[in-house]
Structure 1
Amino acid sequence: MNENETTRLSRLTAILIQLQTKRLLTATTLAHKFSVSNRTIYRDIRALEQSGVPIITEDGKGYSLMEGYRLPPVMFTEAQANALITAEQLVLQNKDTSFIKDYTEAIEKVKAVLKYNILDKANLLSERVRFDQNNNRERNSSHLSDLQFALTNFRVVKIEYTNAKNEPTTRNIEPFALLSTENWLLVAYCRLRRKFRFFRLDRINELEILTDKFETHKMTLEEYFTTYH
């Protein structure tokens, strides 16, 4: 196999990973990512189709893979996927660019084997998690996984919470975002106060994920800070 064939094989594999990671990709997006022409991408897509990969072409929109098609026999639970996506946000703060590059590529491969419904939730979570510098390594909460699930599935959560005045309260909340500072903070719409509030996870004494669902708050984390702070 000559160098050109090796390069193309690597690109075909990478295109397949990209198709498994994203819902829909255009030829232009792929051409830009791999520094080739659109015509080359068209040929690559045909080659993948001829090899038996079930690629769906949507005229004027792009390419996607048939639901259920996966290459590696690796399965992640929703909680495991959420943990990896959350860790990605922490890694992105690392000052070593090579480490960030390697981890980002690894996460793309992880996303490539996720089912679409879990992938959508993982992508939402990656947009709703933010880390600030935290030098305190003490573990002081145990509700993060449950709150990640509630956030990405739009489930109302009932909490027994102790506020800064050491007063216990019971609240139903709609999780919106998670922030890592000195302590984990949850941004949520509080149905008791009828406004968005911050909740420290280490002050949540009891937590119950209810069957009730809430309408998604149609704004990004950046838009939240612009609007409310």
Structure 2
Amino acid sequence: MNDHYLKKLDRVTAILTQLQSKPVVKAQDLAKKFEVSVRTIYRDVKTLENAGIPIVGEAGSGYSLMDGYKLPPVMFTKEEVLSFITAEKLMQKFSHQSMGKHYQTAMEKVRSVLKYSDKNLIQNIEKQIDIFQHQGKTEDTLKDVLPTILESIAEKLQLTIEYRTVDDKISTRTIEAVGVFFEFNFWYIMAFCTLRNDFRQFRVDRILKIFKTQNPYLQEYGQINDYRKNGNGNKITVKLLVDKKIMGHLVNSKIYYGLIEEVETENGVELTFETEWLKDGFPRWLITFADYATILEPESLKDRLKDLLKDISDKHQ
């Protein structure tokens, strides 16, 4: 069998996997994924149909497997099996506790369809991989909170939550969740808050009660990153001059706090931010490297930093 037919066999098998994993698959998306022409995808789909696979749909509208049709378990390559082991280790350390048990049962199903040799491979290698986490996991008040949030997003139904704020105040909110994200060791919801009529972030471990309503979303939303970047629009420009030797420690956090420009000068690196957190978030972050930074603007940030430092000094006298 020559190289051309081997590539086609691999591609046709991969297309079948795509059909098993998605409700509808478009020829244009498959062509882009496998870097071939749309016409080639049409021929590959015809090959599957000739092999007796009941494919519903046609060119231009997308393809799917006939409802109820079952296929034998997919066989995994050795490289894919090794990637599962690594992913499982990562999930054990970093997954949200409400999702961990579901991932564990999913992995048990994956293991059940592995070849005997691959099961031995897992047994031999899984104790040789570990992930070291230096921060402790947060504990949630509720069980299955993240699945509830994800279900509401999928079904486009509003959530009602009882939420404990950073200053220990309890409030009840009705929200329309856009998405969830993990950052700085915490899970967050990005959502439209009907009380504030604006987008807000809610830390998942501060949710005391949650239930999914039957009220549909009042509007359509884009991707989660669109809202994380845009915020509520009340941003202030901040300019800092930072010592070059500290820059390596700010790689991830500077993006989080709104970095929009970075210019290297003779005296250091000039960083420009747009931030909404001038009262607390930004100055508290700045304290962590304030001895290596000079505030160029605004003056209000200098005053706020002085007030914070005075409060710290007074507290520890």
Tell me the TM-score normalized by structure 2. Answer: 0.46
Deviations 1:104-130 (A, max 9, x none): xxxxxx9xxxxxxxxxxxxxxxxxxxx
SS in 1 for 2:60: coil
SS in 2 for 1:48: helix
Which stretch shows the higher mean deviation, 29-38 or 169-178? Answer: 29-38
Preserved contact between residue 199 and residue 227 of structure 2 (Cα < 8 Å): no
Q: Unaligned 5+ residue runs, structure 2? A: 75-83, 92-109, 111-132, 233-317
Question: CA distance change for structure 1 residues 63 and 149 in 2, over 3 Å: closer, same or farther?
Answer: closer
**Which of 150, 156, 165 is residue 148 of structure 1 equivalent to?**
150
- The letter of the residue matching 1:53 is I
Does 2:212 align with 1:209?
yes
- The letter of the residue matching 2:26 is L
Preserved contact between residue 178 and residue 221 of structure 2 (Cα < 8 Å): no
Preserved contact between residue 190 and residue 202 of structure 2 (Cα < 8 Å): yes
How far the C-alpha of 1:166 sits from its partner, in A, is 1.0
Question: CA distance change for structure 1 residues 139 and 228 in 2, over 3 Å: closer, same or farther?
Answer: closer
Preserved contact between residue 19 and residue 25 of structure 1 (Cα < 8 Å): no
Question: CA distance change for structure 1 residues 68 and 8 in 2, over 3 Å: closer, same or farther?
Answer: same
Preserved contact between residue 178 and residue 223 of structure 2 (Cα < 8 Å): no
How far the C-alpha of 1:149 sits from its partner, in A, is 1.5
Q: Which residue of 1 aligns with 2:15?
A: 15
Question: CA distance change for structure 1 residues 67 and 202 in 2, over 3 Å: closer, same or farther?
Answer: same
Aligned residues: 174
Q: Which residue of 2 aligns with 1:178?
A: 180
Question: CA distance change for structure 1 residues 216 and 66 in 2, over 3 Å: closer, same or farther?
Answer: farther
Calculate percent identity across the aligned residue pairs: 37
Structure 1 segment 1-229 matched on structure 2, within 5 A = 2=1, 7-22=7-22, 23-26=24-27, 29-36=29-36, 38=38, 40-72=40-72, 135-141=134-140, 142=143, 143-181=145-183, 182-228=185-231
How far the C-alpha of 1:135 sits from its partner, in A, is 4.9
Q: Unaligned 5+ residue runs, structure 1? A: 75-83, 92-109, 111-133
- The letter of the residue matching 1:199 is F
Preserved contact between residue 193 and residue 200 of structure 2 (Cα < 8 Å): yes
RMSD: 3.3
Tell me the TM-score normalized by structure 1. Answer: 0.62
- With CA pairs under 8 Å and 6+ residues apart, which has the higher RCO, 1 or 2? 1
Preserved contact between residue 154 and residue 216 of structure 1 (Cα < 8 Å): no
Distance 1:37 1:164 in 2: 54
Distance 1:55 1:199 in 2: 43
How far the C-alpha of 1:53 sits from its partner, in A, is 1.2
How far the C-alpha of 1:150 sits from its partner, in A, is 1.6
Preserved contact between residue 191 and residue 200 of structure 2 (Cα < 8 Å): yes
The structure number with the bigger radius of gyration is 2
Distance 1:216 1:66 in 2: 33
Deviations 1:144-166 (A, max 9, x none): 12212122222222211111221
Distance 1:32 1:156 in 2: 36
Question: CA distance change for structure 1 residues 152 and 8 in 2, over 3 Å: closer, same or farther?
Answer: same
Distance 2:226 2:9 in 1: 42
